[in-house]
Chain A
């Protein structure tokens, strides 16, 4: 219910939201949790395993119980913590893990079956019979597992990723973080201050109290006003720092649009990568529960959460509250509630020496041993000495002590340190380079302690950066000592919950130890404690304390499990912002792109490029018809294709030829100016890296062509070789791939076409290059061929590419030719036995592809020595061959080869097929393949088997060059 005059919500702005279809009122500034409490909704979810009725446990991002689905127009987000989700007009939330509804859930039978479902249940139950696993158990478990549901649709919401840089990152804006940020900001450092919640102030806003004799909230307001006026401070609310990574980099998730009605283009979330020279962890501490019988009923929650709900949101979840504590902290809650007119029936304090509290009864040395109330607590049973008595209550606050929020300090494998006086783990110094943990996050639990620690941490950070420090006086605030007598669990024979989210009880931990899983890491995996969405924030320390107790060890000796990033869940959509569908990678478009699409060409992706697959003509029903026509067109007349995607690297310098000799297996330094040579380059391990042609444009000027796929790879390789092996050589190179649009003109009519386009005959020998002027534009003409026909490639600066493409196309069509696409290009090169990366796939050598003679004996080159290692040459190698099926059957790339009479199994494998096509020129299927000792086996019949596609056909082994083996057409 609402409490008048309390809270920081905006009562002038009422909003309505829905929960499980019920429309309910709230105010701007409410979280879903506070709004539900305001509406007296106690039951908000069902637990994971036993489907126990559950209520709100906390007021923060650590919430294990109140997880809901948020239903948007185009999004459905499961496992949203109601304590984090802010209410806005029209917000629709749905409870999860229940059917048919929250109050009456069929799966609550699991709770009755609890004795069967203890820790290790899976391992014991689903072991036999073995055959049941895949068919029965796994589908069953999959259906029962998981929390919440997905819409099954793409999340088309807007998400954002961004970078931020600063001198000092302050994580958490409670007293420690605020004063640390102020100290650093006044000194002129660039500060980023992040806080998870919508309003900075931390527990100063939750607990009230005074600073310098004034309400703490006034100090917060004054500090925030100063910070927001400073140009060197960036304040990020609703931003959770989720991970600490190398080199001062942090991940942080900002809720940009999740707290309001969707707006066009407004990101839902932004995933920040913050790079900071130094950081201060001021993330505070999390209050922990105490385990006792049936401690998981709705209405049982953290004492500190009660204060937060009252002071920040003006709501209380009960009219008659009791508190169960082992430290003085619960007194703040009791006083706040009583001051607001809420009855505090009693404080059950486990300490014999607990102080009295005016206005309520303190049961010293007492413990809660049980509760009642199916859908919400109605009564607790207390044991004091040997006396048991009952207290009627509708809300029980738990104050089991505080755990510093050490999580980020563990992200680089730092282990927290046990502080006996606090009965808690605190961060180890230096766990994250450049990070100082301060305030409650470091175990200083008083406001005064936090303020002092914040200033010290900021000054240390400033000094470490060589920055001047500033004058900030330590304000005067509450400095009560933290007095705690640890109490983790009240012994019971029944179930007392540790991990609410995953339904792990003290019994489960004891059972784990009893069955031999005594290590904390084993216990975690055996019981699933700490593996729920809250990642053990509420239960880790208590669970290991219970484990320590049952195994007779001390807590530090028992050790901790590892906190890993992210601190709170991060949506994949935010980390992959912009990367959905077309955003996955940059798209590279040719200058001819529109012209090709206008002709109906289906575009295929080649690396990042989009290239035309084929150019359909009216009446052609399949791609094959178009492809066959294009092949015949090139062989019979002339074809034009855009080959601009091939990598082009411009090399210059007196040592450029020498450099090429070192890069390529064959010699380039002897190539005359105006000529082009085909070259092969190896990786350092002796396998083929890439192939292509290099032209000598002038004495010290060369132009290398790489394959499309390896353009970047080759550039990187050249950089590596140059920088590492021959940095002092007189050679410079740069990519000019994007500078030139280049078109292949191939076929018996190619010379005629170029003569018409250039206004004169090209007059180039095979493998020649010359500068040309084409229609007033300076370009380059190469006589090279990837088709086996007389072929040219003409290059012009890219801005003229589209115009030249359209011009060449028109000329080709006038001459009975036209455009050809990637499919025809592939057929043409297979017919000619030319290789692509289907053949030089990274595991083949120059020997394998029949080019060992291209590895010059007269010089060294990258990869030469490694290519001569034993096993890299010889008859045992798979060697490139051609294949022709004996029957009119299609063959497939990926099929394997076997001796004609052999059984087609792995042991008998003789090789594999890399490329296939239907050759309209030879009216046959053709293949390129690697066959053991293949070059000696031309003419032999082998068996081609594709187990996947059910192909089994006999083929003749041939030379890989099927078309014009003498090369007469090329040189015509």
Chain B
């Protein structure tokens, strides 16, 4: 067996988390930063040595099993990209908490490091129960981060977060146990090949859906997200939007669609319908928010709906688009939460109306915030466009109506983001405390600039990100091909004869 890089990536933050508890606050900060950077470097090595077009599962490690449970890790292209997202955002989160967190710093850093372990573990697990443990345990540190280091109403927010996720988790556990009974294995690659009976798929699908839809979050089980974001500290929001929300999408991609293709096809319209509602509903709600974090939280709901429609288009365009939306949203909304954090640290309010005219005294901030605003709107040249475009393009082949409804998101998205930007950054500088706010510090630039660079890279040359996933998308598309519904827009062959002038279109 070669170098167990995945286990090492799990071990480093795990050990650092224990170490943090025994250090001084500043020692804990530095240890956390070094550990997360080390994981990032390993992540880059992982990506560099990933064999594109090679076997589906790479870097496989199997440390043997106890009972039905086994420590088995391994990644495919989807997991690789999401692990990259996690290890990229983690050092940024530590940096964002550098001065903003003052109480119980050691435990805070430990909580973040544990989150990192669990996120990487979730994406790398090849054993169903191992996955479940990472997946569910991942919520505990997040839950504590909101509950301990959060805002004034943090208890309600963490409580809501807990309640929402609990029910889904229990249902999913039961479904998993049934699957293990039926298939006689917990090995995920084997389960991916297993054809579950169609009638059972429906129930299994619904149980998994209950869990993943909440994480996503899909309308109408999204209301925990705005509260959680509003109450979470800045870095908590970044990791929540950047990585935790991707657990839902990953769950759809890894389990729901390939394991239950018939049920997925059967529920396609449920997903497409809920997503279309989510885009319009969440965008309109975002339009009327007066709290910056809530606005971005609702925009997340709208963006994640673009992920679900892409996935349930069951074609290459849609699935690749969905993955790019996930990666892009992780970066862009993470960066937007950082942007909010920057001014929150200075004025200690998230009220949009308290700001205005920041372009005058914070020009660097205005530029970066504008860039991420445009990326969120999906301007071509940024990552947001590539994802949205592919995802909606894939959906068009299934349903033009759903595509039309979801594409209104590009209008509404522009409206709420530009309205936000205008109120915060444009206008005249009339308030003295706002005027006194200094521009970005070097630390803040060091947090935002790398994200901007990656967003631009993904927007101009997405091939780097699409290539590792290409063969996995092919596998997934082939898996669901037998069940996927026909599109409503398929063209019929033409006659090649231009109809007479002013012919009726309705024929």
A and B physically associate: no
Interface residues of B (CB under 8 A from A): none
Residues of A within 8 A of B (CB): none
